[in-house]
Amino acid sequence: MKATNISYKPAGQFEDTRFEKIHNVVFSNSVEASICVAQEIATLIKLKQANNKPCILGLATGSSPIRVYEELVRMHKEEGLSFSNVVTFNLDEYYPMDKNSIHSYFYFMHQHLFNHVNINPNNINIPSGSVSQKELHQYCIDYELKIKEYGGLDFQLLGIGRTGHIGFNEPGSHYNSGTRSITLDHLTKIDAAPSFLGINNVPKKAITMGIGTVKSAKRIILLAWGHTKSSIIKDTIEGEITSEVPATYLQKHSNTTFILNEEAAQDLTRLNTPWLVGQCVWNEELSSKAIIWLCDLTKKSILKLTDEDYNNNGMSSLLIQGGSSYDINIKMFNKLQHTITGWPGGKPNADDSSRPERANPHKKRVIIFSPHPDDDVISMGGTFDRLVEQGHDVHIAYQTSGNIAVSNQEALKFAEVIKDMDSKDSKIATIINKLHSKTEDVEDIKAIRILKGLIRKRESLAATRFLGVPDKNVHFLNLPFYETGTIKKHPMGKIDVDIVANLITKIKPHQIYAAGDLADPHGTHKVCLDTIFTALENLKHEDYMNDCWVWLYRGAWHEWDIHQIDMAVPMSPDQVLKKRKAIFFHQSQKDGVMFQGNDTREFWVRAEERNNETAQKYHKLGLADYAALEAFKRYYY
């Protein structure tokens, strides 16, 4: 498959910017990127085979390399790629860790790669998490020596942690460090917490190959996907070499390539502020982004920017194209002003030529898709309220049951209430027994999953009733991809898409709201969005779809950049409080929620701070001073 990368220069060559110090290739998506990496590994394995030599691979675990391993397995099964000459050394393992635990990297590697290819088990080397403390030091020295005995690593695959770790070489690691035991950084434990169901279950230590070990590999590829990696990727590629960001040591390795997707690369100067790097083609989106950036840099509102500001900050070509700062400023100001509306469903009997939504039909049928049973109120509670108050026929579709996010304690509370009402119900007695004996990291039995799902259903109905939506307009889709009882979900299936498409077909909406937030910790939002996009693709030729506009909101983790916003709905202080109250109905997600990502604020606090922040940003740019703004981007399908 041909990769649709934004830019490509062969390894060893750099982009023409004074900023970048590590060769990198940016792909539009991680699947294509992973396939290219797998091809490079396969080529190396075959080359070594042709020369009758072993191929020594250094391998990583984590979410980043999974697709690479899948592709290698596919090549083995479908194209006969043989692993008979392959010797592997894994980067790291938690310590202590039983190799049979589902959390062990031993388990991970077998599940994703080794169980599916013809590698000789004797050729697999993974640091053991069960050597005794006493033996640990010597064990690490021996691991290091074994790599050397094979003549070093031919190829090393890496991921990167948000601390800048490679392997588990956390900040402070030495340039020449070898295989050793290490204490995990707090941020690394936060990132690992979801899969261990809580930070307290994450091991405090690990065994890791050293920077020196990694750096002696003949070829290194580091993978990074997603916007949570964008800032550390920028620091690593553009920053100074420092032990505070151990991945920066790779700047000294002459055959390293970073393979990134657009989200992970988005903070690189070349992509984020290309006007600082060279000539740009100024389309509307880039101009808006640059002007907002310029306001932030100069601490000025839009209408106060001068020719000099544009000229001094790499934007003189925009000035030439736009005529003068005066003209550019007014155009930008109006554009932003026109995103603001208190009428998210369109203002009846009003000129709508410069409003984000159409005036007609006056009364719109609306579907608000909510991936989990609280994203609707967290992300767009104010807009939801306005749509109902302004008389639209609002339907809410909860895409997943959200059952895994209800704690055992919370479920026990409800189970005991049911038991108090009817002490003879044997099913409830079983549930209570199980809940008493299980820890959060043990998979729920079906009856507990159902109970947890029902708790979230009832919380949702309390919130939708509070906002004035009749129960018949509230749809619980319980998409099957989610129902695994664990954090790892099934991939999206036809049945998920059909359920979403059937609802759209039934309601024939004029407006669809969907979570365009791809940053939730377990990826559920992304799958939910994909079900909607696929359903839209399947339905787009239907007549009624000509009249259906799609608005994307962002969930609890992330907000649109100002230049991306097409509709901004203001909230008064009273509306902010009403939204807060609607969120409070989701009690199981309050006060110490199970899955809050790496943000310790409760969801309602995040929502309020985020909406307030958007309002302040608008105000700083010279627009009106609102208490809060909810932001949406239009999606064209």
Q: Which residues are catalytic?
A: 170
* Contact letters for ligand F6R, residues 105-144 (x by CB under 6 A): ----------------------------------------
Centre a 10 Å sphere on the Cβ of residue 142 and count the other Cβ atoms it contains: 12
Residue 93 CB, shortest distance to ligand F6R, in Å, is 8
Residue 180 CB, shortest distance to ligand F6R, in Å, is 14
β-strands 86-90, 55-59 pairing: parallel
Residue 188 CB, shortest distance to ligand F6R, in Å, is 7
The answer to whether residues 598 and 191 touch, using CB atoms and an 8 Å cutoff, is yes
Non-local (6+) Cβ contacts of 624 within 8 A are 340, 570, 618
Contacting residue, 35, 73, 87, 91, with ligand F6R by CB under 6 A: 91
The answer to whether residues 229 and 160 touch, using CB atoms and an 8 Å cutoff, is yes
Minimum CB distance to ligand F6R smaller for 59 or for 405 = 59
Counting contacts by CB under 6 A, is residue 231 touching ligand F6R? no
Minimum CB distance to ligand F6R smaller for 98 or for 566 = 98
Residue 228 CB, shortest distance to ligand F6R, in Å, is 8
Counting contacts by CB under 6 A, is residue 260 touching ligand F6R? no
73-80, long-range: CB < 8 A, 24+ apart: 73/112, 73/113, 73/116, 73/117, 75/38, 75/42, 76/116, 76/117, 76/118, 77/116
Residue 167 CB, shortest distance to ligand F6R, in Å, is 4
β-strands 256-261, 365-370 pairing: unpaired
Residue 459 CB, shortest distance to ligand F6R, in Å, is 31
How many residues appear in the chain?
Answer: 637
Minimum CB distance to ligand F6R smaller for 199 or for 605 = 199
DSSP one-letter string for 114-182: GGGS---GGGEE---TTS-HHHHHHHHHHHHHHHHHTTS-SEEEE---TT--BTTB-TT--TT--SEEE
Minimum CB distance to ligand F6R smaller for 15 or for 520 = 520
Counting contacts by CB under 6 A, is residue 104 touching ligand F6R? no
Residue 66 CB, shortest distance to ligand F6R, in Å, is 8
Minimum CB distance to ligand F6R smaller for 62 or for 129 = 62
Counting contacts by CB under 6 A, is residue 501 touching ligand F6R? no
Phi then psi for residue 234, to 5 deg, are -60, -45
Minimum CB distance to ligand F6R smaller for 166 or for 405 = 166
DSSP one-letter string for 299-350: T--GGG--HHHHHHTT-HHHHHHHS-HHHHHHHHHHHHHTTB-S-TT--TTS
Within 202-308, strands assigned E span 205-208, 220-224, 256-261
The number of residues that bind ligand F6R (CB under 6 A) is 14
Residue 193 CB, shortest distance to ligand F6R, in Å, is 12
Minimum CB distance to ligand F6R smaller for 229 or for 563 = 229
Contacting residue, 15, 92, 263, 602, with ligand F6R by CB under 6 A: 92
- CA nearest to 261, candidates 113, 517, 64: 64
Q: What share of the chain is helix, strand, coil (3-state, %, to 5)?
A: 45, 15, 40
For the segment 569-598, give every residue that binds ligand F6R (CB under 6 A).
none
Residue 63 CB, shortest distance to ligand F6R, in Å, is 4
Using CA atoms, how far apart are residues 209 and 160, in angstroms rounded to an integer?
A: 14
Using CA atoms, how far apart are residues 214 and 464, in angstroms rounded to an integer?
A: 54
Counting contacts by CB under 6 A, is residue 88 touching ligand F6R? no
Handedness of CA 269, 273, 278, 284 (dihedral sign): positive
Token couple for 423? 């002490």
Helices 105-112 and 66-79, packing angle to 10 deg: 40
For the segment 149-188, give every residue that binds ligand F6R (CB under 6 A).
159-161, 165-168
- CA nearest to 445, candidates 400, 485, 473, 476: 485
* Contact letters for ligand F6R, residues 38-67 (x by CB under 6 A): ----------------------xxxxx---
Residue 163 CB, shortest distance to ligand F6R, in Å, is 8
Counting contacts by CB under 6 A, is residue 516 touching ligand F6R? no
Minimum CB distance to ligand F6R smaller for 61 or for 325 = 61
Token couple for 611? 């909406």
Q: What b-and-e string marks burial along 411-440, b requiring 16 or more CB atoms within 10 Å of the CB? A: bbebbeeeeeeeeeeeebeebbebbeeeee
Rg (CA), the chain: 27
Minimum CB distance to ligand F6R smaller for 161 or for 371 = 161
Minimum CB distance to ligand F6R smaller for 195 or for 460 = 195
Binding residues for ligand F6R (CB under 6 A): 60-64, 91-92, 159-161, 165-168
